[in-house]
Amino acid sequence: MASPSLMDTLFQRTLDDIIKGLRHQQAGESAFISKVVEEIRREIKSTDLHTKSIALQKLTYINSIHFIDMSWAAFHAIECISSPNFSHKKVGYLAISMSFNESTSVILLITNQLRKDLKSNNEFEVSLALDCLSRIGTADLCRDLTPEVFTLLSSSKVFVRKKAIGVVLRVFGKYPDAVRVCFKRLVECLDGTDPQIVSAVVGVFLLKIFAKLAPLEPRLAKRVVEPICDHMRRTGAKSLMFECIRTVVTSFTDYESAVKLSVAKIRDFLVDDDPNLKYLGLHALSIIAPNHLWAVLENKEVVIKSLSDDDPNVKLESLRLVAAMVSESNVVEICRVLVNYSLKSDPEFCNEILGSILSKCCQNVYEIIVDFDWYVSLLGEMSRIPHCQKGEEIENQLIDIGMRVKDVRPELVRVGRDLLIDPALLGNSFLHRILSAAAWVCGEYVEFSTKPVELVEALLQPRTSLLPPSIRTVYIQSAFKILIFCLHSYLLQRENIADDMASEMLGLKSQGECSGSSALVTGKAPACQEQDEGFNPRDSNKSYEDLSIINEGDVSALLEKGFTHESIVNLLNLIELALGPLSGSPDVEVQERSKNVLGFVDLIKQEISNGFVSERASKIIDMVHDAFTEELGPVSVNAQEKVPIPDGLMLKENLADLDAICGNVQLPSSISFSMGSPFGESVGASVSIPQSKEESEPSSESTSLLAEHRKRHGLYYLPSEKNETLANDYPPANDPKSSDNTNDDAQDLVKLTDKSLLPKRRSNHAKPRPVVVKLDEGDVAPIIAKKSATRDDLLSDAVRDILLGNVAKTASSQSIISDKSSSKRKGKEKLNVDLPESREILGVEKPDLGNPSSRRSKHRSHGKEKSRKSPEKKNSDEIGDGEKESRRVDIAIVGIKQNKELKGP
């Protein structure tokens, strides 16, 4: 690049030229800008500071408006601020404050120049330097320049003093140790009679400080509350009013009268026509809602009316408030209102509403729900709202409620049935998750269904081809469960009719018999059997009892439904017809499950031909049915963690090659409770399948390949099973090797989950509200508390130290004060160490030398005297400080008032 010539200097374009030029460039703006930047790059190297500063000025402009990088010019900006000419300095400082940041490498080069300008006699230079420091001050800069800023706090010029206060805030933020040095001086400044310093905004700032300090020091709150209330009553300025309200609702919620007053004022805001005030009123209500719900209830009408406001912000605020109002007694009414609103709303807000209903209702394991039948049908209704996109949440809740609340299951099945038989719903992909839950519920709790055959028809309807494979598998499995139920009922019915053998049948279900009959199968499928015993996370004794109860209750009911031989054959034919095409599905899971079911259907068909049911068929049906009727309970989220990792299992092993093998197989995302009964189901399936497969259909080539593959990669399948067994309904691989390993710890798991479930099972059934199964722990996933930023802590610690030392002297404050003074000394020592120029520090430490700081020194010595005073005298001091404090508030508020009467828009 050519060095800047005289021509460049003479014919340099000014910023005005550039702006005009930009205005005339309609299309080729970026080309123009890059040309200008080229010019600037040349001009900025000029030795003439005037040329350089104009170039820098242009660059700053382009940077701030057109996002052109200017970090490369950092050094040139530093050159400009060292110019004696004020206008160059000005340009340089502006460029620096716009472009420097913590990572600018040359930032430390400006320390000396800043120090020089801070000590300048020209107040405008001082102000430039202060502005710059307040914008870019890093921890290093703040540490190095604290003494200068400290001196400026007592400058004779109001203009400078005011800015210095502003900078101190930044310094405190970046370099908390400075608080120990400067805080007293800062308080003196605020305490000063000069109304310009204690201006409006410093006043609001003070209010904010009080709001933050109030929790630390209750006495302070007592003194501040009254003046704040006074101003709330008297002021006409809305912004001051709002600040007072906000201070009260955030920090002084214990003061009944203050809260009442502010709620009254909030009501004025709410009924105002100005949307701003309305929004702020709602906002203030939502702050106060957790502590004073009555305030929201008093304004119920306005809040609910705001739900149909034009403004999405207002709508959201009011939705939050409505959600806060929901309680056990009004949940039904409010949800009705909300659902009606959601029908009328745009999709985005509609889902906001649905989301807030769902999250509110499931809080603390459905704490506020009494009538679960109502809630379940509400879930069904919400699923049908056209804009509903909350499928996942509704799915989780449907299954969760099914497992936790026994009494609601009949209604749940009814809702599920209504969803399943509606072919229109299958087309909406947002609803697929809900349909999957409905299918699962209907399969699992089919005993409450009035027309099981209708359910099978719904589950196998042609439009199910619109479902993704993962959900189709749930459909197939549910159809299988219902089929088993139908067959089982048919058998019982037959036996009842034939002779009174029902009692014997029930006897057959006692545990001894059952395991005996299982043992028959064990020979054929040892692996599955072991898994059955090992992995079953539920208490088997219990569930057998349940089973017999259910049977006794239902058998009679079902007899009326009447399964005839024809209806059973029709059902089998229907399943065969619907699943036939699926046995060639490209999705492994769908294919395997449909083949399993088809194999079973084939077997049964052979066995029950001509209205006669063979001994063998009824045994198979019994066993599968037993497996399915087992009660499912929620499983603690933490259960998995309690399972010890068995020897020889390498969880940390690199599984990269597993990805390569099943790259496009998506594992179902884990959910917080176990969905379905992976073991119950899969055992049921696998008990029957080996036989049926052998007999009815020679295993196709693809399945044998798959089996081989699984055998070969048994190691890889094992860990994934172990991790996901609780969380998905992926059937365990039918592999003897894996079951050997899993047996032991699975036993532990059974114990663990039983422990957490058993006590709840025995809870009282006579309550009006149905029993909701809760786990002792682990219903909520553990939340790792995030540590908040440390800088704020440091700062507030430092402020607290000083305030507790200054304001809240306790009787035993002698030690605190000595501590404080020692820490003060420490701070100074530190400064001494850190700063290379010790002469300046002398200036700070002996303020008597400098004329402008004589006032300060008086205060200082006064302070020292104070700390030397005897403990008896401290009491009076404390009062004095307190008075000072409240006087300051008064000044602050008056300040706000004076400056804020300027009415808001």
Partner 1 sequence: MGIRFILMVNKQGQTRLAQYYEWLTLEERRALEGEIVRKCLARTEQQCSFVEHRNYKIVYRRYASLFFLVGVDNDENELAILEFIHLLVETMDRHFGNVCELDIMFHLEKAHFMLEEMVMNGCVVETSKSNILAPIQLMDKTS
Q: Is the dihedral of CA 354, 360, 364, 368 positive or negative?
A: negative
- The answer to the question of residue 262 lying near partner 1 (CB under 8 A) is no
- The answer to the question of residue 160 lying near partner 1 (CB under 8 A) is no
* Cα 653 from chain centre: 32
Instruction: For the CB of residue 101, give the shortest distance to partner 1 in the complex, in Å.
Output: 4
Span of 159-167, 329-337, 449-457, 840-848 interacting with partner 1 by CB under 8 A: 159-167
- The answer to the question of residue 668 lying near partner 1 (CB under 8 A) is no
Between CA 579 and CA 593 the distance in angstroms is 9
Closer residue to partner 1, CB minimum distance, 130 or 232: 130
Between CA 382 and CA 72 the distance in angstroms is 58
3-state secondary structure of 546: helix
Q: Are residues 15 and 23 in contact, defined by beta-carbon separation less than 8 angstroms?
A: no
Q: What are phi and psi of 836, to 5 degrees?
A: -70, -35
Query: Measuring CA to CA, how many Å separate 325 from each of 112, 368, 883?
Result: 59, 12, 41
Between CA 396 and CA 379 the distance in angstroms is 11
Instruction: For the CB of residue 842, give the shortest distance to partner 1 in the complex, in Å.
Output: 29
Closer residue to partner 1, CB minimum distance, 61 or 445: 61
Q: Are residues 56 and 95 in contact, defined by beta-carbon separation less than 8 angstroms?
A: yes
- The answer to the question of residue 69 lying near partner 1 (CB under 8 A) is yes
- The answer to the question of residue 667 lying near partner 1 (CB under 8 A) is no
Six-digit token string for 439: 């299918």
- The answer to the question of residue 440 lying near partner 1 (CB under 8 A) is no
User: Which H/E stretch holds residue 118?
Assistant: helix 111-118
Between CA 76 and CA 63 the distance in angstroms is 15
Alpha helices in 198-311 (DSSP H): 200-213, 218-234, 238-251, 256-271, 275-288, 293-298, 300-306
Binder among 82, 239, 428, 461 for partner 1 (CB under 8 A): 239
Give how many residues touch partner 1 by CB under 8 A. Answer: 61
Between CA 690 and CA 620 the distance in angstroms is 12
Q: Are residues 769 and 716 in contact, defined by beta-carbon separation less than 8 angstroms?
A: no
- The answer to the question of residue 740 lying near partner 1 (CB under 8 A) is no
Binder among 202, 295, 325, 547 for partner 1 (CB under 8 A): 202
Span of 202-210, 486-494, 546-554, 610-618 interacting with partner 1 by CB under 8 A: 202-210
Closer residue to partner 1, CB minimum distance, 314 or 487: 314
- The answer to the question of residue 53 lying near partner 1 (CB under 8 A) is no
**What is the number of alpha carbons within 13 Å of residue 188 lying toward its C-beta?**
19
Span of 64-72, 499-507, 657-665, 682-690 interacting with partner 1 by CB under 8 A: 64-72
Span of 307-315, 386-394, 425-433, 770-778 interacting with partner 1 by CB under 8 A: 307-315
Closer residue to partner 1, CB minimum distance, 54 or 382: 54
Instruction: For the CB of residue 280, give the shortest distance to partner 1 in the complex, in Å.
Output: 6
- The answer to the question of residue 192 lying near partner 1 (CB under 8 A) is no
Instruction: For the CB of residue 251, give the shortest distance to partner 1 in the complex, in Å.
Output: 11
Closer residue to partner 1, CB minimum distance, 572 or 896: 896
In the region spanning residues 101 to 130, those forming contacts with partner 1, defined by CB under 8 A, are 101-102, 124, 127, 130
Closer residue to partner 1, CB minimum distance, 250 or 548: 250
- The answer to the question of residue 54 lying near partner 1 (CB under 8 A) is no
- The answer to the question of residue 242 lying near partner 1 (CB under 8 A) is yes
Binder among 278, 509, 625, 874 for partner 1 (CB under 8 A): 278
Cβ-proximal residues to 228 (8 Å cutoff; 6+ apart), any chain:
207, 244, 247, 248, 252, 258, 889, 893
Closer residue to partner 1, CB minimum distance, 249 or 555: 249
Query: Measuring CA to CA, how many Å separate 750 from each of 512, 586, 902?
Result: 20, 36, 72
Q: Could you identify the residue written with the tokens 């630390």?
A: 216
- The answer to the question of residue 32 lying near partner 1 (CB under 8 A) is no
- The answer to the question of residue 199 lying near partner 1 (CB under 8 A) is yes
Between CA 416 and CA 380 the distance in angstroms is 8
Closer residue to partner 1, CB minimum distance, 202 or 632: 202
In the region spanning residues 280 to 299, those forming contacts with partner 1, defined by CB under 8 A, are 280
Instruction: For the CB of residue 323, give the shortest distance to partner 1 in the complex, in Å.
Output: 17
Q: Are residues 111 and 144 in contact, defined by beta-carbon separation less than 8 angstroms?
A: yes
Between CA 412 and CA 81 the distance in angstroms is 75
Span of 82-90, 375-383, 628-636, 680-688 interacting with partner 1 by CB under 8 A: 82-90
Q: Are residues 676 and 474 in contact, defined by beta-carbon separation less than 8 angstroms?
A: yes
Between CA 425 and CA 397 the distance in angstroms is 19
Span of 62-70, 361-369, 498-506, 781-789 interacting with partner 1 by CB under 8 A: 62-70
- The answer to the question of residue 779 lying near partner 1 (CB under 8 A) is no
Closer residue to partner 1, CB minimum distance, 246 or 472: 246
Binder among 1, 16, 121, 785 for partner 1 (CB under 8 A): 16
Closer residue to partner 1, CB minimum distance, 184 or 238: 238
Cβ-proximal residues to 544 (8 Å cutoff; 6+ apart), any chain:
509, 510, 511, 514
Closer residue to partner 1, CB minimum distance, 140 or 422: 140
Query: Measuring CA to CA, how many Å separate 12 from each of 49, 58, 496, 687, 763?
Result: 13, 11, 108, 91, 89
Binder among 88, 180, 246, 417 for partner 1 (CB under 8 A): 246
User: What is the dihedral angle through the alpha carbons of 736, 741, 743, 744, rounded to the nearest 10 degrees?
Assistant: 160
- The answer to the question of residue 201 lying near partner 1 (CB under 8 A) is yes
Six-digit token string for 872: 């008896």
- The answer to the question of residue 252 lying near partner 1 (CB under 8 A) is no
Between CA 113 and CA 722 the distance in angstroms is 66
Instruction: For the CB of residue 130, give the shortest distance to partner 1 in the complex, in Å.
Output: 8
Closer residue to partner 1, CB minimum distance, 204 or 398: 204
**CB 48: neighbour CB atoms within 10 A?**
14
In the region spanning residues 840 to 899, those forming contacts with partner 1, defined by CB under 8 A, are 899
- The answer to the question of residue 200 lying near partner 1 (CB under 8 A) is yes
Instruction: For the CB of residue 15, give the shortest distance to partner 1 in the complex, in Å.
Output: 8
In the region spanning residues 310 to 329, those forming contacts with partner 1, defined by CB under 8 A, are 310-314
Binder among 45, 111, 140, 166 for partner 1 (CB under 8 A): 166
Instruction: For the CB of residue 242, give the shortest distance to partner 1 in the complex, in Å.
Output: 5
Six-digit token string for 524: 């054929």
Closer residue to partner 1, CB minimum distance, 91 or 248: 91
Binder among 523, 663, 759, 905 for partner 1 (CB under 8 A): 905
Six-digit token string for 855: 């006032």
- The answer to the question of residue 150 lying near partner 1 (CB under 8 A) is no
The DSSP result for 168-229, as a single string, is HHHHHHH-THHHHHHHHHHHHHHHSS-TTTS-HHHHHHHHHHHHHHTTT-HHHHHHHHHHHH
User: What is the dihedral angle through the alpha carbons of 430, 433, 434, 435, rounded to the nearest 10 degrees?
Assistant: 100
Instruction: For the CB of residue 316, give the shortest distance to partner 1 in the complex, in Å.
Output: 8
Cβ-proximal residues to 734 (8 Å cutoff; 6+ apart), any chain:
525, 527, 528, 686, 707, 710
- The answer to the question of residue 471 lying near partner 1 (CB under 8 A) is no
**What is the number of alpha carbons within 13 Å of residue 577 lying toward its C-beta?**
12
Closer residue to partner 1, CB minimum distance, 26 or 664: 26
User: Which residues are near partner 1 by CB under 8 A?
Assistant: 16, 19, 57, 61, 63-65, 67-69, 86-87, 90-91, 94, 101-102, 124, 127, 130-131, 134-135, 159, 162-163, 165-167, 169-170, 173, 196, 199-202, 204-205, 208, 238-239, 242-243, 246, 250, 275-276, 278-280, 310-314, 899-900, 902, 904-905
